[in-house]
């Protein structure tokens, strides 16, 4: 009988081990490739702004997913090699040379890996399509958000297959290079006991864990908001304090070595306690990894909740359904153009307002980050800002306001929260660039109107009518802007009209408005006078054949129905990516816990046989096994979920030094999710227990 035939018989005999390894490889490839197919597909890539935060975070999530799947597969492969160690140990003892066994092992790995990766790649297409259709229910169906297949995602999947195959072959090479036959035969009999652990280890671990989380989240937030100091990113190393605390807590649980006050309970469970202590090092490492994976799992879910909980675009008293602003010299769309287009789409206009607004040069205070410190600066005649007279603002907004002479009101968005960078009361004078007239101003409060506040940076402002006339007198037309605001009778069903109106607006745009969002004509002028290069100068590339208005456009229209849809699309995309992380991490946790449980049963088979010979019955052995496996699931589940919830609580608080009702609601949802995870882990525990009892013959 040849070695090939022997391996073939062994493969049939232990096909379960090949199926487990193959399943893990296929699942990893399936998750990564389907994730990449959606994220790198043309639909999402065209939807997400180039260089935006969402794109960066999604790329980071893809990397985290790849790492999680790799850990997941390599850990599952450890069980495969553990079973193989027995076969190889016997064959080596019988005189088979390692040179003959090595190609046979690699051929088996190649066969399993090849079949599994192909299955994963093939299934990734229908899975990604199915998940896309599931999330499409949250979207307003549009031509831009249909599922489109992209080869880039498939290339990522193939690259992951290659990396995974190389890692598995490297693990196989390490396995085959082991020369000590007895070590191979007794791989599961080694003990990894640790020294006696002091009773205060667990308490110190709790203190370190909480301290690390509080310091990592709290110090940067307090330093920035209270002391105006920017903490460098290297401070994130303080998270290692929390990691050290987690390790000490688990080590204390695993390496329990004294009876303490509960001697009866200790001696009653002495066998189970000793079993865990004999593998303390590997068990502690395993539990630490599961705790961190549980944390990542719940953090991804909570982050998705936060993202989906952000307020959408609503039309209320401080909003207009359609808002435009553009240079007054530009021949843009007129009221007649808008009415004709509305008739084509059976849309009725309401509360239409068309007016002029003046750009004046402002002197203002703001804050900037200099040498790791937030410094308050004074921009004397720094840039242009848009001003409205009191009467015009009342006409557009429908609000009754009163602006005292020589004061101004800052236009903010609804529920505005002041940032570190901008002061709503930072403006102190406005300057007419053509006449040289300067108007000294003082802060007179804020007004909320979303339709106007984003038309100017840092804010748009309202002046007393007389002050406005004096400040804007003889101002050249190049500093004037036309502002159009209106509502429609049925905003919810005006999406097609909004798209057509946007494209009509883009077609009418000229080089007068062809600037990126941060462009400022006064800053450009001052830079030219000083012989400097202005970074925001240059065309943004407007053209009549564009399918949509550019994101970073100074004169981009504000169309609420379109913005709401884009907001929902962005939320759905990001929640979908976070859900993927959640699924992958949870799958990794379940497999690692299951594999560890089976390993415990396999490694301690001789011990249970000895207990049986000493008179222990099946009931006693089952109780010992249950206690052992429960610890494998309970300790990391309780720790990981508790730490994740505490982290979410502190993150919510240190974000703005309070916990809002929506954040409390999300924390409640996180508790429900924790119970669901515990339910999943309990189901895995029952499966692992049944399989372990089969291995030990104590059913």
Answer whether residue 144 shows pLDDT above 60.
Answer: no
SS3 536: coil
Q: Give the list of residues 6+ apart from residue 699 with CB closer than 8 angstroms, or none.
A: 618, 690, 693
Q: Region 36-48: what's the mean pLDDT? A: 77
- pLDDT tens, 266-306? 666 667 777 777 777 778 888 888 998 899 889 888 888 88
CA angle 477, 479, 483 (to 5 degrees): 85
Tell me the DSSP string of 308-359: HTS-----STT--SEEEEEETTS----HHHHHHHHHHTT--EEEEEEEEEEE
User: Which has the closest alpha carbon to 132: 146, 144, 112?
Assistant: 146
Three-state secondary structure string covering 589-606 = HHHHHHHHHHHHHHHCHH
Q: Region 3-22: what's the mean pLDDT? A: 69
Q: pLDDT: is 72 or 525 the higher one?
A: 525
Q: Which two tokens stand for residue 154?
A: 């498939």
Q: Do residues 364 and 428 make contact, with C-beta atoms less than 8 angstroms apart?
A: yes
Q: Which two tokens stand for residue 265?
A: 């309970």
Answer whether residue 367 shows pLDDT above 80.
Answer: yes
User: Which has the closest alpha carbon to 15: 72, 82, 74, 83?
Assistant: 83
Residue 370 bridge partners (DSSP) = 373
Mean pLDDT of the chain: 85
Q: Region 403-415: what's the mean pLDDT? A: 93
Output helix, strand, coil percentages for the chain, rounded to the nearest 5. Answer: 60, 15, 25
Find where tokens 């019988």 sit.
94
The confidence score (pLDDT) of residue 140 equals 47
Tell me the DSSP string of 561-577: HHHHHHHHHHHHHHHHH
* % the chain with pLDDT above 90: 44
Quote the CA–CA distance of 157 and 28 in Å, as a whole number. Answer: 10
Q: Region 409-437: what's the mean pLDDT? A: 91
Answer whether residue 210 shows pLDDT above 90.
Answer: yes
Answer whether residue 12 shows pLDDT above 70.
Answer: no
- pLDDT tens, 593-612? 988 888 888 878 888 888 88
Answer whether residue 150 shows pLDDT above 80.
Answer: no
Picking from 138-152, 205-219, 303-317, 475-489, which range would have the lowest pLDDT averaged per residue? 138-152
Altogether, the residues listed in the chain come to a count of 699
Quote the CA–CA distance of 577 and 48 in Å, as a whole number. Answer: 13
Q: Give the list of residues 6+ apart from residue 246 with CB closer than 8 angstroms, or none.
A: 205, 209, 288, 291, 292, 639, 643
CA angle 518, 542, 326 (to 5 degrees): 60
The confidence score (pLDDT) of residue 93 equals 62
Answer whether residue 258 shows pLDDT above 60.
Answer: no
Separation of CA 691 from chain center = 36
User: Which has the closest alpha carbon to 80: 163, 176, 172?
Assistant: 172
Answer whether residue 259 shows pLDDT above 80.
Answer: no
SS3 445: strand
Quote the CA–CA distance of 148 and 130 in Å, as a whole number. Answer: 12
Q: pLDDT: is 83 or 441 the higher one?
A: 441
Q: Region 569-597: what's the mean pLDDT? A: 81
Top mean pLDDT of 222-231, 519-528, 649-658 is at 519-528
The confidence score (pLDDT) of residue 486 equals 96
Q: Which two tokens stand for residue 448?
A: 């909320």
- Which one-letter DSSP state was computed for residue 424? E
Picking from 51-65, 148-162, 505-519, which range would have the lowest pLDDT averaged per residue? 51-65
Picking from 275-279, 350-354, 520-524, 635-639, which range would have the lowest pLDDT averaged per residue? 275-279
Answer whether residue 509 shows pLDDT above 50.
Answer: yes
* % the chain with pLDDT above 70: 86
User: Residue 44 — pLDDT band, cuts 50, 70, 90?
Assistant: confident
The confidence score (pLDDT) of residue 94 equals 62
The confidence score (pLDDT) of residue 65 equals 73
- CB atoms < 10 A from the CB of 19, how many? 12
User: Residue 161 — pLDDT band, cuts 50, 70, 90?
Assistant: very high
The confidence score (pLDDT) of residue 180 equals 58
The confidence score (pLDDT) of residue 553 equals 93
Quote the CA–CA distance of 383 and 429 in Å, as a whole number. Answer: 12
Enter the pTM of the model: 0.78
H/E element, 184: helix 181-185
Q: pLDDT: is 185 or 124 the higher one?
A: 124
Three-state secondary structure string covering 381-415 = EEEEEEEEEHHHHHHHHCCCCCCCCCEEEEEECCC
User: Residue 321 — pLDDT band, cuts 50, 70, 90?
Assistant: very high
Q: pLDDT: is 86 or 117 the higher one?
A: 117
Radius of gyration of the chain (CA): 33
Answer whether residue 526 shows pLDDT above 90.
Answer: yes
Answer whether residue 571 shows pLDDT above 80.
Answer: no
């Amino acid at each position: 009988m040849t070695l090939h035939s022997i391996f073939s018989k062994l493969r049939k005999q232990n096909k379960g081990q090949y199926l487990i390894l193959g399943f893990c490889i296929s699942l990893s490839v399936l998750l990564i490739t389907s994730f990449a197919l959606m994220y790198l597909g043309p639909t999402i890539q065209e939807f997400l702004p180039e260089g935006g935060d969402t794109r960066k975070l999604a790329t980071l999530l893809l990397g985290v997913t790849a790492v999680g799947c790799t850990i997941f597969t390599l850990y599952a492969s450890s069980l495969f090699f553990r079973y193989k160690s027995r076969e190889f140990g016997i064959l080596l003892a019988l005189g088979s040379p390692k040179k003959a066994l090595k190609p046979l092992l690699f051929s088996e790995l190649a066969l399993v890996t090849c079949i599994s990766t192909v299955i994963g790649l093939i299934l990734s297409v229908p899975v990604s399509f199915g998940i896309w259709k599931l999330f499409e229910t949250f979207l307003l169906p549009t031509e831009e958000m249909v599922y489109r297949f992209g080869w880039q995602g498939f290339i990522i999947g193939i690259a992951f297959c290659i990396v995974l195959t190389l890692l598995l072959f490297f693990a196989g090479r390490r396995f085959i290079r082991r020369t000590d036959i007895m070590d191979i035969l007794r791989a599961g009999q080694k003990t990894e006991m640790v020294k006696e652990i002091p009773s205060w280890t667990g308490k110190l671990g709790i203190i370190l864990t909480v301290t690390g989380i509080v310091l990592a989240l709290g110090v940067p937030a307090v330093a920035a908001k209270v002391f105006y100091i920017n903490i460098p990113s290297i401070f994130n190393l303080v998270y290692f304090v929390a990691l050290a605390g987690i390790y000490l807590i688990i080590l204390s649980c695993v390496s329990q070595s004294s009876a303490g006050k509960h001697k009866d309970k200790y001696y009653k469970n002495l066998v189970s306690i000793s079993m865990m202590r004999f593998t303390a090092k590997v068990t502690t490492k395993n539990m630490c990894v599961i705790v961190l994976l549980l944390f990542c799992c719940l953090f991804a879910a909570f982050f998705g909740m936060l993202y989906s909980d952000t307020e959408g675009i609503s039309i209320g008293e401080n909003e207009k359904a359609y808002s435009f602003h553009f240079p007054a010299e530009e021949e843009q769309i007129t009221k007649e153009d808008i009415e004709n287009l509305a008739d084509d789409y059976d849309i009725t206009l309401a509360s239409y307002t068309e007016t002029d607004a003046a750009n004046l040069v402002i002197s203002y205070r703001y804050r900037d980050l200099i040498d790791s410190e937030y410094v308050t600066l004074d921009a004397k005649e720094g840039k242009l800002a848009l001003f409205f007279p009191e009467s015009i603002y009342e006409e557009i907004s429908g609000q009754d306001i009163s602006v005292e002479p020589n004061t101004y009101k800052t236009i903010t968005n609804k529920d505005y929260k002041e940032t570190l960078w901008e002061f709503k009361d930072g403006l102190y004078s406005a300057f007419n660039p053509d006449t040289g007239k300067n108007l000294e101003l003082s802060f007179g409060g804020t007004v909320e109107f979303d339709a106007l506040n984003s038309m100017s940076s840092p804010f748009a402002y309202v002046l007393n009518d007389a002050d406005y006339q004096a400040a804007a007198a003889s101002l050249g037309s190049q500093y004037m802007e036309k502002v159009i605001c209106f509502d429609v009778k049925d905003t919810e069903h005006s999406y097609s009209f909004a798209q057509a109106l946007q494209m009509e607006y883009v077609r009418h745009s000229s080089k007068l408005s062809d600037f990126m969002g941060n462009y400022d004509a006064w800053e450009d002028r001052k830079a030219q006078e000083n012989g400097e290069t202005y970074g925001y100068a240059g065309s943004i590339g407007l053209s009549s054949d564009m399918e949509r208005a550019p994101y970073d456009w100074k004169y981009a229209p504000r169309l609420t129905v379109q913005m709401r849809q884009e907001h929902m699309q962005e939320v759905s995309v990001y929640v979908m990516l976070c859900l993927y992380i959640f699924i992958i991490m949870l799958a990794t946790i379940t497999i690692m816990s299951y594999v560890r449980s089976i390993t415990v049963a396999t490694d301690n088979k001789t011990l249970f046989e000895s207990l049986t010979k000493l008179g222990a019955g099946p009931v006693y052995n089952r109780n010992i096994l249950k206690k052992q496996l429960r610890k494998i699931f309970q300790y990391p589940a309780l720790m990981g979920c508790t730490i994740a919830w505490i982290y979410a609580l502190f993150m919510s608080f240190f974000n703005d030094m309070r916990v809002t009702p929506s954040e409390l609601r999300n924390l409640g949802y996180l508790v429900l999710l924790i119970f669901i995870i515990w339910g999943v882990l309990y189901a895995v525990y029952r499966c692992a227990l049944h399989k372990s009892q089969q291995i030990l013959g104590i059913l």
